[in-house]
Amino acid sequence: MTSSCTATWTDGVRYLHTSGSGHTLVTDAAPPFGGGTAPSPMELLLHALAGCAGVDLAMMLEKMKQPVAGLEISVEGERAEEHPKVFTKIRMRVRVRGDVDPRKVERALNLSRETYCSVSAMLQATATIEHSFEILGAE
């Protein structure tokens, strides 16, 4: 399987990215570096982790016949002080809405982390990733 993207400079430190599948997004540097109009590339790594885990969780909980009414994934990362300023610690908090079995949520989260989420597997090379979850119950 091959993935691709092209980044085209627009101005300042902002780029327009086009994926091989034709989707686009914009990145920019943080305000101290002349940006601030779009997520930074490092923020996109956190978005990618949340999205990857989210896909896994939604699919697995559905297969486990869990009545999920909502999923929210928050990710926060700490970076090294020196260059390259890689993520060294990441905390991911999953909030599940619905009358779901906590053991099945934990199982799905562990399967995502240990087996299926490619983004998690790559980030674990430099960062400790902590996972937690909360079940909010059905509304």
DSSP assignment of 69-129 equals EEEEEEEEEEE-SSSS--EEEEEEEEEEEES--HHHHHHHHHHIIIII-HHHHHHTTT-EE
Angle at 7 between CA 124 and CA 87, to 5 degrees: 20
pLDDT tens, position by position, 81-97:
999 999 999 999 999 99
- CATH code for position 22: 2.20.25
pLDDT of the residue at 110: 96
What pLDDT is attached to residue 1?
Answer: 85
- Please indicate, yes or no, whether residues 17 and 75 belong to a single structural domain of this protein: no
Q: Which domain holds residue 93?
A: 41-135
User: Are 86 and 101 found together in one domain?
Assistant: yes
Shared domain check, 48 and 29: no
Averaged pLDDT score across all residues of the chain = 96
Number of domains in the chain: 2
Average pLDDT value for residue range 111-131: 97
For 22-47, what is the mean pLDDT? 96
Q: Is 13 in the same domain as 75?
A: no
Do 85 and 117 lie in one domain? The reply is yes
Q: Please indicate, yes or no, whether the overall pTM of this predicted structure exceeds 0.85.
A: yes
